[in-house]
Amino acid sequence: MRTWQQVSEIHEDGRDLDNPRLFMRADGVPLITFRSVITGQSYEIEVYQTLDNGSSFQFLSQVDWDEHLGGLYEPSLATLPDGSIAAFYTSEKHQHEHPSYSQIISERISPDGGLTWGPEIFAIAQPGTARPGEPNMITFQDCPQLALFYEMCATENCLGHVSYSTDGRSWSPIGPPIPSTFQDVQALQTTNGLIFATSNSYDVIVSPDDTTSWVDTNSHPFSHGEWPAIAQTSPTEIGVALSGAGPQGEIGQYIQFGDISSLGLDHLATSRACSQAGPDLQPCTPGRPCAQ
């Protein structure tokens, strides 16, 4: 991730494409999801695939669409325990219903690798003015549980939250806020079991126990920019990317790399706590291991 070359371009005549996310399907085929927009008129969540390592992309499917009602934003893809692919995205389509939802996190599931999508699931939804958004999911290691991270705006100051599931189809209610987060909380579980998260607050925080507790690493990769992404680039390294994060806030995508071993986290005993109860889970305890 130190050097980059232009490989290909995706475009649709008369439409803006944004909010892109890459995803690796189980069979090794890379997918990319994004929204295709005519502002104020048409919003679509689409999926493209590449069969030649990114040299070209072909339209695969449309996850959802919205004409005039509101907007669709911020899609991401994730693999569920049964091998299906889940598409998460934020939706304003339900503002004029009763009850009214200013914005929700919607989910649709594909059983065939992203070719077709099932009915809409209200993954995170609170009637009224609440605006959950920026969804992204991780799977706990050695624990039959999934965690969905998101921001909560309007009713809160865009604090990060996390909800839980065992099947990726039904999710626990909105949980407690994640400390030191503001807008677009993005999470990553590294190969050693630690869960790192960052947001528009620039803080990097870590959980050693499946989000039960969080520790501030006191590291700030950037002082400008917004809309982060986080990835593991080696066994002891993570990278954080931000838009508009130049030294003086210059536009463009910027990446900083951090050595996990230099953060002084050795005292954190990684624990597969699996302690957060999902909609069909009871908390695991020392005397009762996580259900399989």
Task: Please give the domain boundaries of the chain with CATH numbers for all domains.
Answer: 129-262 (2.120.10.10)
- Whether the pLDDT of residue 75 is over 90: the answer is yes
Question: What distance in Å separates the CA atoms of residue 90 and residue 72, rounded to the nearest whole number?
Answer: 6
State residue 269's pLDDT score.
Answer: 59
Average pLDDT over residues 239-263: 92
**Other CB atoms within 10 Å distance of the CB of residue 30:** 15
- Chain CA centroid to CA 268, Å: 25
| Least confident residue range of 5-14, 76-85, 215-224, 263-272 | 263-272
Average pLDDT over residues 261-280: 62
| Least confident residue range of 12-21, 58-67, 246-255, 278-287 | 278-287
State residue 292's pLDDT score.
Answer: 30
- Whether the pLDDT of residue 268 is over 80: the answer is no
Question: What distance in Å separates the CA atoms of residue 274 and residue 195, rounded to the nearest whole number?
Answer: 13
Per-residue pLDDT of 132-170, as tens digits, reads 999 999 999 877 899 999 999 999 999 999 999 999 999
207 burial level (CB within 10 Å; 0-12, 13-18, 19+): buried
State residue 49's pLDDT score.
Answer: 98
Per-residue pLDDT of 157-167, as tens digits, reads 999 999 999 99
Per-residue pLDDT of 163-195, as tens digits, reads 999 999 999 998 889 999 999 999 999 998 899
Name the residue among 140, 186, 194 with its Cα closest to residue 160.
Answer: 186
Question: What distance in Å separates the CA atoms of residue 292 and residue 283, rounded to the nearest whole number?
Answer: 13
Task: Read off the pLDDT band of 262 (50, 70, 90).
Answer: confident
Name the residue among 49, 1, 276 with its Cα closest to residue 144.
Answer: 276
- Whether the pLDDT of residue 224 is over 70: the answer is yes
State residue 283's pLDDT score.
Answer: 37
- pTM, entire model: 0.90
- Whether the pLDDT of residue 12 is over 70: the answer is yes
State residue 219's pLDDT score.
Answer: 87
